[in-house]
Amino acid sequence: MKIDMHAHHFPRITREEAAALSADRGPWLRVDEGGKTGQIMRADRPFRPVYDSLWDPHARLAEMDAQGVDIQITCATPIMFGYEFAPEKVLPWAQRMNDLALEFCAAAPKRLVALAQVPLQDIDAACREASRAKATGHHGVQIGNHLGDRDLDDEGLVTFLQHCANENIPLLVHPWDMMGGNRMKQWMLPWLVAMPAETQLGILSLILSGAFERIPESLKICFAHGGGSFAFMLGRVDNAWKHRDIIRKDCPRLPSEYCKRFYVDSAVFDHGALRLLAEVMGTDRIMLGSDYPFPLGEQSIGKLVAEQPGFTDADKRAIYAGNAVEFFGLQSLVG
């Protein structure tokens, strides 16, 4: 059994629909003649070339079959979040995207599972939409790792996390809106340098602020891309906590003690990195995640885990499926 818990979709949103969100920045999908390829667009500007698995569930299922993926958990492409737009426009947008995600998954309800998106800039609306999405069939919510200058320790965002803990809504935190600005104009540096840092920042903002102390331990929260730079830099953070009181002031425990409060996916692309991740997080807190169907994802889904030196069969079963079944409550799909 192989469950890929980090995959994205993008519905066939027209330019007119996107304009209701924002005339000059609303994301939409331009499908090329023949229907096999296309572009994610912002107004008349191309954002990313894509192919039909991103919007066509039947093309996706054929690739899942070829890859031996039994179940895929799919969520919005982060450009769809809409956090930068007026809240009153983003709630109907998020609802529409969430309903379209369920339509996409309806092509194979036992194999395609959706995570919702929420209008995080309005915490009350985000909580309501997370609950509505759960009631309509979503298995959790994907959020970005920050909202402008507000990181996950922000009071409103902590309220949202508490809501998800109390309502048993699992969360995937995905980096987006990367730091670095004009210093990262080329070579996909925002994806290579800033994305891992964004994820590390998201995790550390929950740990060092003491937010984990205020959030119920029942919260199920997973960070994408193996937690970004977090695992490799954890020794530096623990050392800093021991030797500088300004790092201890809001965080009562050694930072590494909080690793048991969250999960990560397996998208690290390197056996040494995966070994470190397993040492830091434990194989019971890593879930197979590929970042499909994008070029920066794992192209042969699950190969890294399958060939990982030192992993037992039980480790591989847990990462491939067991951990995700528990995390997302998929028992009815695999029983």
Distance of CA 34 to the CA centre of its chain: 31
How many residues lie near Zn ion (CB under 5 A)?
1
In terms of CB distance, is 74 or 95 closer to Zn ion?
74
CA–CA dist 195, 31 (Å, integer) = 28
In terms of CB distance, is 52 or 291 closer to Zn ion?
291
**Which residue stretch of 94-102, 238-246, 285-293, 303-311 sits at the interface with Zn ion (rule: CB under 5 A)?**
285-293
In terms of CB distance, is 126 or 222 closer to Zn ion?
222
Helix axes 155-166, 123-136, angle to 10 degrees: 20
Bridge partners (DSSP) of residue 76 are: 9
**Which residue stretch of 161-169, 182-190, 200-208, 286-294 sits at the interface with Zn ion (rule: CB under 5 A)?**
286-294
In terms of CB distance, is 129 or 291 closer to Zn ion?
291
CA neighbours closer than 13 Å in the CB half-sphere of residue 207: 23
Beta strands at 263-265 and 221-223: parallel, antiparallel or unpaired: parallel
Minimum Å gap between C-beta 142 and Zn ion is: 9
Q: Is 279 exposed, middle or buried (0-12, 13-18, 19+ CB in 10 A)?
A: exposed
Cβ atoms of 37 and 105 closer than 8 Å:
no
- Tell me if 4 contacts Zn ion by CB under 5 A: no
Minimum Å gap between C-beta 175 and Zn ion is: 8
**Which residue stretch of 50-58, 117-125, 129-137, 283-291 sits at the interface with Zn ion (rule: CB under 5 A)?**
283-291
**Which residue stretch of 84-92, 122-130, 203-211, 290-298 sits at the interface with Zn ion (rule: CB under 5 A)?**
290-298
Helix axes 230-243, 271-281, angle to 10 degrees: 50
In terms of CB distance, is 201 or 237 closer to Zn ion?
201
In terms of CB distance, is 98 or 290 closer to Zn ion?
290
Minimum Å gap between C-beta 43 and Zn ion is: 23
Which of 52, 291, 298, 315 is the binder for Zn ion (CB under 5 A)?
291
Q: Which residue minimizes CB distance to Zn ion?
A: 291
Strand order in the sheet with 3-9: 3-9, 71-76, 112-114
CA–CA dist 47, 7 (Å, integer) = 18
Site residues, Zn ion (CB under 5 A): 291
